[in-house]
Structure 1
Amino acid sequence: MREVFDVTIIGGGPAGLYSAFYAGLREMSVKIIECQPKLGGKVNIYPEKVIWDVGGVPPITGKDFIDCIVQQGLTFNPTVLLNTKVDKLTKEGDLFVCETSTGDRHYSKTVIVAVGGGIINPKKLEVEGAERFEQTNLHYRVQRIRDFAGQSLLISGGGDAAIDWAWELSLVAKEITVVYRGDELSAHEAVVKKVQHANIPIYLHTTIQSLVPDETGTRIKEVVLYNEKTKQTSVMRPDHVLIHHGYERDQSFTYDDAIKPELVRNYFCKTLPTGESSVPGIYAAGDIAHYDGKVHLIAGAFQDAIHAVNCAKTYIEPKADKSGYVSSHNAIFESRNRALIAEAVKQAK
């Protein structure tokens, strides 16, 4: 027997997780479908970066923020499917159907699309045998800044991410060198100036030609560089190599023609500020939503989520309140509030 949910949320980033929380607050049954092996969305790309602009939250690392938003998103125990990619959204009768790459079909009364700008994966270094070093000293993202303390680091890339990390890691690393294939860095001018003033060596027109393993065969011992302008090679022996060549975006999520909402640039979902698409029952939240006045911040994703859930609720139950009660007055939290107060009193004694 197929299971039908009130709302299925495609995407487990901040917009999707807050949608799950707020839908639970509104006593809706919820399923989250996320293509990656863990929740958190693109914040997982920068776990050590500090986030400053979430209302009511002091400066917090991406990792800690993910921990918080996941905990909140799972408050009402939604069904969560990880490593599951939705390829197409169709409809059977009154129900929407999420068709996945595995051939499974998930049924729902409404759908909130929260897939951001697409599935993001870092572009890999196109050097033979590079993958063997990914578990040791070849990196595509910075998981822990302390891993680079006192280490020599080679960074390949000239965009914002590469140059941001060159500057930030210069505070802990023994030495940093940047190589970039272009003739000038493409990162923000202010950060480029910081790196230049810090006397971090930057080699333009330069790419990684090959990686030489150590005696174990699992770590990079030497990096062979090639200067495309001088046609000369050189060798470095860094402790770590960090690659920032940009990201691959998979934007292959599609709709059946019968329920295809109006799209912007053939991908982003054109909505009202309330999250409503041109197809009743389909809503969007976060970066995938496109409307006048859109705010591309995590804080904006939260508001998108609230509007989308409220519209989904009244789509299913036209007589339902147009918005949920605030948490301090919501009966659904009464027992939890009592437990928290009791614990606070206990700690005070």
Structure 2
Amino acid sequence: MELFDVTIVGGGPAGLYSTFYSGLRNLKTKIIEVQPVLGGKVNVYPEKVVWDVGGLPPVQAQVFAQNLINQAMIFMPTVYVNTKVEQIEKQGDIFAISTNSGDVHYSKTIIVAVGGGILNPIKLEVDEAEKYELTNLHYTILGMQRFRNKRVLISGGGNGAIDWAVELLRTAREVIVVYRNEQLTAHEAQVEKLNQHRVPILLNAEIQSFVSGTDDTVIEQVIISQNGETYQFEVDDVLISHGYNREKSLTFADSIEPKRKDDYYLVSQGQCATSVPGIFGAGDIITYDDKVGLLVGTFQDAVLAVNKAKMFIDPQADQYAMVSSHNEKFNEMNKEILEEVFTGGNK
């Protein structure tokens, strides 16, 4: 039985920064993520630009996620992906963590960083829609360039759909928005951008069916129903942005007392400690007075959770880690970085 000091459940920003900081505090660390890749919800919008992290210039979400992953791996944690935690049991002084693979992981402490749960896009309920998913029916955008000079139809009227529509104005030849309700629910500033570009917006409308050509896996036309009338649009690509189903990945920790029905854990402010001794939380899954729902708040949660886990294991430990500029763990890496700066990469 291999015993870890800290096991972090969730591989998004909160889990990744917890992983880095746990290594910084000399804790034997494992991270478990249900998705096949690390990065969490940031991967949903890979080409969005992140502006609100202090000291970091504006950066694409996919680059930001990779930076977080690289940082988390500095102290060589044990990583499990494609692994869902199904149950946590206390066995004496340690936690036994059972997963969907049948494996059991053992840990002195746990940091829950599962965000809002497991996100799965709400699929379009149209006959044979699945067969187009490998060609030109999309539920997210992994790269804007594939839509260059294309005619793209977007189904949805919330922030996700309209944000994508605005982004596509830079590359697509034409953007069409279809929404089943009477009014778009996205932020009015984004809607105004679409109006300024005279983007066709069909309200009280929804996709009825697709028409393929000689290749029956490629959509060539979309049949739209609006107020009892039927319309046909030729398209190159279709993007569905109807939101996400949130699978509450918290059934493994029923003993943790949630604050309310939506399953956010109420923790003591400044400690990130749940109602179960030895289990801590970080990121979107926890709530407390004056909780900041931004990435900067997530990083603060991660530091607090790790520090409390450290002191739970060793009550005599320092309350905080030594600052990185004085920490011997970074001495060699700092030398390499400074040499790169001074030599301009020319050794």
- Please classify the TM superposition score into its range, dividing by the shorter chain length: over 0.9
Q: Look up the SS of the partner of 2:211 in the other structure.
A: strand
Q: Look up the SS of the partner of 1:57 in the other structure.
A: coil
Which residue number in structure 1 is paired with residue 333 of structure 2?
336
Cα deviation for residue 122 of structure 1 reads 1.0
- The superposition leaves residues 49-84 of structure 1 with CA deviations (integer Å, 9 ceiling, x where unpaired) of 111001111010110101100000111111111011
Q: 1:323 aligns with which of 309, 314, 320?
A: 320
- The superposition leaves residues 229-280 of structure 1 with CA deviations (integer Å, 9 ceiling, x where unpaired) of 2x222211111101001111000422456x4334433511111222111221
Which residue number in structure 2 is paired with residue 268 of structure 1?
264
Counterpart of 1:251 in structure 2: which amino acid?
A: K
Q: Look up the SS of the partner of 2:239 in the other structure.
A: strand
Counterpart of 1:268 in structure 2: which amino acid?
A: Y
- The superposition leaves residues 122-177 of structure 1 with CA deviations (integer Å, 9 ceiling, x where unpaired) of 11111121111112111111111122121111010111111122122122211111
Which residue number in structure 2 is paired with residue 64 of structure 1?
63
Preserved contact between residue 264 and residue 290 of structure 1 (Cα < 8 Å): no
Preserved contact between residue 89 and residue 254 of structure 1 (Cα < 8 Å): no
- Alpha-carbon distance between aligned partners in 1 of 2:335 and 2:187, rounded to the nearest angstrom: 50
- Tell which deviates more after alignment, 9-18 or 130-139: 130-139
- Taking structure 2 as the reference length, the TM-score comes to 0.95
Alignment: residue pair count: 345
Percent sequence identity over aligned pairs? 50
Q: Look up the SS of the partner of 1:32 in the other structure.
A: strand
- The superposition leaves residues 188-234 of structure 1 with CA deviations (integer Å, 9 ceiling, x where unpaired) of 2222222122211111111111112221222111111112x2x2222
- Alpha-carbon distance between aligned partners in 1 of 2:245 and 2:328, rounded to the nearest angstrom: 45
Q: Look up the SS of the partner of 2:298 in the other structure.
A: helix
- Alpha-carbon distance between aligned partners in 2 of 1:149 and 1:252, rounded to the nearest angstrom: 38
- Alpha-carbon distance between aligned partners in 1 of 2:106 and 2:257, rounded to the nearest angstrom: 19
- Taking structure 1 as the reference length, the TM-score comes to 0.95
RMSD: 1.5
- Alpha-carbon distance between aligned partners in 2 of 1:20 and 1:48, rounded to the nearest angstrom: 25
Which residue number in structure 1 is paired with residue 109 of structure 2?
110
Which residue number in structure 2 is paired with residue 82 of structure 1?
81
Runs of 4+ in 1 over 6 A off after TM superposition: none
Counterpart of 1:171 in structure 2: which amino acid?
A: R
**Gaps spanning 5+ residues in structure 1: where?**
none
Counterpart of 1:271 in structure 2: which amino acid?
A: V
Preserved contact between residue 256 and residue 265 of structure 2 (Cα < 8 Å): no
1:298 aligns with 2:295: yes
Counterpart of 1:267 in structure 2: which amino acid?
A: D
Q: Look up the SS of the partner of 2:208 in the other structure.
A: strand
